[in-house]
Structure 1
């Protein structure tokens, strides 16, 4: 039996939905308003935060004493229920998995619950492990993954991790977690498996259950 851990945005629903783009725009707007600057400068500052701290939130907390709940409330004030709808195929796939299921996201738990309810899968997961669980030390850093494994009480080889972000996938894979990258891989990126959609998981489930986390760039 395995433990299945899923990222949220652009993983449980397709990137083409555009929800993350709306959030991304609000993040840049929050930075601009907080710094009282123009969009170009705000974008540059944000890139610096991402490079140094891994997330915009951590950079704002360290350099501008921003309250994380204020930030998350603002950037997640988006029309989730208008952009997502119940996904029966996703629900059936999740419920058929032979193991525990968790959501592991850099977003807030409140936002994650809204997304899960909109998709009709809110009861398919044991728990949502959010940015507060990570102590604001977001993926792709090592700390969230180490804390995840301790919390789950699992060895890396017993966990399957799904994420659309190559850097997140690479960190997990390097720790020995079997990693599935959702989306398209690029030269130089590596996950144990790359799938265009999480809903292709049933086709590869036997392979995943028998695998030991060795990177296979040809899959």
Structure 2
């Protein structure tokens, strides 16, 4: 599944989201985080699980992350929030040496841009066995707690790592997080579920694959990256 738009021959910096991008959607690792976010909201606001769920998803959509909404609306400590919601079981993740080899063959730098924490990133990459292939991680703390898709987050990322967006590609599972990168000149790749297993996502999270700001779509990131190495 590839749209013919911006290509990859000029790319020297490869930017990857983490969750549901570097591992398959159907692992549902993020479902664990999602559950713990609901628990945090419920306990902090002293409300029912159903009401917490409503607020959680409302803040997620309006603020980019539930955490940002909880910080803005209720003064929540980011450190407390991140420590709680990322305390999950990473064992469902399996090593992916084929992806690691494909990433290693890409010319130039490989960076991670995530709304998660570096601690969570480290655990995911360790389980996947691909951590050595990345040059740096830009997490929610580096973003000054402003999550994607906030424009200033991408600007901060580009400046901190001296990235030329016109020579960069970004891989993401949420179409809305690729709007600004595309505007900045990045080649965008939307990573979608392969349809083989059930995934736990909101309907809007699965939308956008036909949007103009999406240059390429893939349901097999490893295969897609292998293809890039073969065609360059």
Output the TM-score relative to the length of structure 2: 0.83
Helix, strand or coil for the counterpart of 1:123? Answer: helix
The residue that corresponds to 2:126 in the other structure is 117
Q: Which runs of 5+ in 2 are unaligned?
A: 1-10, 194-206
The count of aligned residue pairs is 207
The residue that corresponds to 2:215 in the other structure is 192
Q: 1:183 aligns with which of 178, 188, 192?
A: 192
The residue that corresponds to 2:96 in the other structure is 87
Q: 1:52 aligns with which of 33, 44, 62?
A: 62
Helix, strand or coil for the counterpart of 2:131? Answer: coil
Of 25-34 and 176-185, more deviation after overlay is shown by 176-185
1:99-138 pair list within 5 angstroms: 99-138=108-147
User: 1:50 deviation in Å?
Assistant: 2.6
The residue that corresponds to 2:3 in the other structure is none
Does the Cα contact within 8 Å between 1:50 and 1:56 map onto a contact in 2?
A: yes
Output the CA distance in 2 between the equivalents of 1:83 and 1:180: 25
Helix, strand or coil for the counterpart of 1:83? Answer: coil
Deviations 1:33-79, CA, capped at 9 Å, x for gaps = 11110122112222332343221111111222211111111111111
Deviations 1:86-113, CA, capped at 9 Å, x for gaps = 1110110111110100111000001100
Of 96-105 and 60-69, more deviation after overlay is shown by 60-69
Q: Which runs of 5+ in 1 are unaligned?
A: 210-219
Output the CA distance in 2 between the equivalents of 1:2 and 1:187: 25
Q: 1:157 aligns with which of 166, 170, 179?
A: 166
User: 1:206 deviation in Å?
Assistant: 7.2
Helix, strand or coil for the counterpart of 1:133? Answer: coil
Does the Cα contact within 8 Å between 2:102 and 2:229 map onto a contact in 1?
A: no
User: 1:152 deviation in Å?
Assistant: 2.3
Output the CA distance in 2 between the equivalents of 1:100 and 1:187: 26
**Higher relative contact order, structure no. (Cα contacts within 8 Å, ≥ 6 residues apart):** 2
Q: Hey, which bits of structure 1, 4+ residues long, moved more than 4 A? A: 184-188
Q: 2:226 aligns with which of 188, 202, 218?
A: 202
